[in-house]
Amino acid sequence: MSFPGGWEWILIFVVLLLLFGAKRLPDLAKGLGKGILEFRKAAKEVTDEIRKEEIDKPDDDKDKPEA
């Protein structure tokens, strides 16, 4: 699956403009941006928590002999 090119983005923008109108489009873009920002923030928090647990987890496997 490839990302849309230049003409596809223009077509998408025109369709959005027709559906929502010029006055609501900036509000929709702002809401979308805030949603993406919140998603990235939550994903970073989860990643940081996982890394913290991996660091704090004791390595009991080091003391066990391999069979």
Is residue 12 within 8 Å of residue 4, measured between CB atoms? Answer: yes
Contacts (Cβ under 8 Å, ≥6 apart) of 15: none
d(CA 21, CA 14): 10
- Per-residue b or e along 43-61, where b marks 16 or more CB atoms closer than 10 Å to that residue's CB: eeeeeeeeeeeeeeeeeee
Answer with the residue of higher pLDDT: 60 or 23: 23
Contacts (Cβ under 8 Å, ≥6 apart) of 67: none
In this prediction the pTM is: 0.56
pLDDT surpassing 80 at residue 58: no
Digit-coded pLDDT (tens) for 30-49: 999 999 999 999 999 999 99
